[in-house]
Amino acid sequence: MSAPTTEVARIEVNLLLEALYQRYGYDFREYARETLDRRVAQFQLDAGISSLAEVIGRVLREPRLFYRLIAYFSINVTALFRDPAVYAALRAQVLPMLRTWPHVKVWDAGCATGEEVYSLAVLLYEEGLYDRATLYATDINPSALETARAGVYPLEIILRGSRNYLESNAQGSLGDYYYASGDAATLDARLRRNITFARHNLAMDASFGEMQLIVCRNVLIYFNRELQNQVLELFWESLENGGYLCLGDNESLLFTSVVDRFEVVNESARIYKKRSAR
């Protein structure tokens, strides 16, 4: 008697994930399974591939197809000053403390197409911290990183970001930080000057050490509990004592392995501070 179709599909997705790990070193095996199943199915449909077995074979042989596939695994839901209250909280409760460090290092993990890290750059610039700051913007998706590096976006994205900016206790106008040409807008080069963009796989790669602030918003929700704890341990290791962690609005440290190692700064904004080592 043959296994049900859903069971066969589950086995094939398992084989695909194992193949990606063995061939390319990308580990998606602990990602939230329902999300992965949907995205693999969507990729298969969009690519016009008739079966998962064919997906596995072709992805193993065709690196370009692999990079198309992992774009489906990375979630690029982002915007300039998305959730303005979070940026207001960072401005009021975190940046004043960052001034106590001689140099500030910020890691935007899962930066997607870059709107978030540029929003952080604007905050640092307005608070007089940018010149002594280094920002690391990382993502698993090389295509998204190319967009982030370029800093060029459709004008409508910038205009929506301008409304968010005004709601974040802004100190000026977002128009001070970009110039428009036709239907596109380019962010000012001064915002990119201290940003390093790099590919990084949260499931496998090492920490970025000695950070004062890590921002990773709405990424953990796509991981299972085990991988969430693994990534939070990575963030804990990467923060200096007294450093800050900012998560997404649907994420929390409650019921995680690091909950006792952080204190709550602003629960509604999901901002936490690493406790000093005893």
Local confidence pLDDT in tens for the 278 residues of the chain? 344 468 888 899 999 999 998 998 888 888 888 888 999 999 999 999 999 999 999 999 998 899 889 888 876 668 999 999 999 999 999 999 999 999 999 999 999 999 999 999 999 999 999 999 999 999 998 889 999 999 999 999 999 999 999 999 988 899 999 999 999 999 999 999 999 999 999 988 988 779 999 999 989 988 989 999 999 999 999 999 999 999 999 999 999 999 999 999 999 999 999 998 65
Same domain, 258 and 179: yes
Looking at the structure of the chain, the number of domains it has is: 2
pLDDT of res. 2: 41
Q: Please tell me the predicted confidence (pLDDT) of residue 91.
A: 97
* Residue 226 domain boundaries: 84-274
pLDDT of residue 256: 95
Residue 5: per-residue pLDDT: 60
Same domain, 109 and 194: yes
User: Can you give the pTM of this predicted structure?
Assistant: 0.86
Give yes or no: residues 201 and 236 share one domain: yes
User: Amino acid letter at 75?
Assistant: I
Lookup: tokens for 201: 């796989």
Do 64 and 183 fall into the same domain?
no
The verdict on 209 and 151 lying in the same domain is yes
18 shares its domain with 102: no
63 and 140 share one domain: no
Find how far residue 43's CA is from the centre of its chain: 21
| Ordered alpha helix ranges (H), the chain | 5-24, 33-47, 52-61, 63-73, 84-89, 95-98, 115-126, 142-150, 155-166, 189-192, 225-238
Q: What is the pLDDT of residue 277?
A: 67
Let me know if residue 174 belongs to a domain.
Answer: yes
Angle at 162 between CA 156 and CA 163, to 5 degrees: 100
